[in-house]
Amino acid sequence: MSLEMFIVIYCFVGVLAGLLGGMLGIGGGSITVPCLIALFSIQDFPKDIFMHLVIGTSLAAAACNAAAATYFHSRHRNMYWPLIGKIAPGALIGAITAAFVIKNISSVFLEVFFALFALYVSWSFFRPFSHEHTDKKHPPGYGIFTLFGTGIGLLSNLLGGGGGVFVIPLLTYYRFPPKKIIGTAAFTSFIVSTTGTCLLLDSSSVTISSSYGYVYLPAFIPIACSSMISALWGTHLTNTLPISILRKIFASIMLLTSLSIGLHFFI
């Protein structure tokens, strides 16, 4: 398959990632990573840095996607800034820690870790998105949310995502308004993915043509550009359409992704 054909496919990946990222506040990495695993396998990238390239490229694209989603959600007043102020410091610490961990663990471990993560995401998104605000649970203080943010930043960057898939269940549990949850998740994704990307650009051990550190540019550029455009559609749909059906579709995709990676180790 020619590079031009791969670029076209990467554009389609970006459209899907941006649409779901903008609609659900997930940053797009949960879609980008499984697609890159499949496409990089076809391109036969070195196994020792295979998942590192997947994660670095996905984080770079997720940063652009989340930036667009954050901008559009802020215009719709879907941000909860006091809560962002509690999560952001920990998210930065976690993202920085993850970047150093990624450089020192095996590609196989990262692949297995993502398979388990995809299974978790599937379970999380199959659950109904709560719109009820009865029995509201009192959210914890600054210190606890900082710890939550650290865990979110660490796990998200290890998985090539921005953190939205962890932020959404957490804030849903505390019964924050659904649209505020999505906007807050988008901004958290922007912080985490941007930090991770910057720290993964300096790897001199990557010798693949057209890569910059662990970011493979022929994949990153089309995914980033198309996802930023489609993120606009996604944020618009958040404010006009129910999202329960798309959540179930996304959950199904994640379940199939987890199963496919698992089968990869037995075939």
How does residue 27 score in pLDDT terms, banded at 50, 70 and 90? low
Neighbour-count burial of 189, counting CB atoms closer than 10 A to its CB (0-12 exposed, 13-18 middle, 19+ buried): buried
Report the C-alpha gap between 21 and 202 in whole angstroms.
27
Average pLDDT over residues 41-63: 88
Model-level pTM?
0.80
Q: At what angle do helices 217-238 and 3-24 cross, to 10 degrees?
A: 30
Q: What is the pLDDT of residues 224-246, one digit of tens each?
A: 999 888 877 877 776 676 667 76
For residue 246, the model assigns a pLDDT of 64
For residue 72, the model assigns a pLDDT of 81
Contact, 214 vs 105, CB < 8 A? no
| Lowest mean per-residue pLDDT among 2-16, 191-205, 231-245 | 231-245
For residue 97, the model assigns a pLDDT of 92
Take residue 143 and report the two structure tokens written for it.
């210190």
Q: Tell me how far the alpha carbon of residue 50 is from its chain's centroid.
A: 18
- DSSP run (H or E) holding 211: strand 211-212
| Residue predicted with more confidence, 207 or 2 | 2
Take residue 129 and report the two structure tokens written for it.
């998105």
Q: Is the pLDDT assigned to residue 44 strictly greater than 80?
A: yes
Q: Is the pLDDT assigned to residue 83 strictly greater than 90?
A: no
How does residue 96 score in pLDDT terms, banded at 50, 70 and 90? very high
Contact, 240 vs 23, CB < 8 A? no
Average pLDDT over residues 13-35: 79
Report the C-alpha gap between 185 and 170 in whole angstroms.
10
| CA R_g for the chain | 17
Helices (H) and strands (E) in the chain, counts: 10, 2
Q: Is the pLDDT assigned to residue 47 strictly greater than 90?
A: no
How does residue 205 score in pLDDT terms, banded at 50, 70 and 90? low
Return the domain boundaries, the chain.
Answer: 3-264
Q: Is the pLDDT assigned to residue 267 strictly greater than 70?
A: no
| Residue predicted with more confidence, 19 or 6 | 6
How does residue 184 score in pLDDT terms, banded at 50, 70 and 90? confident
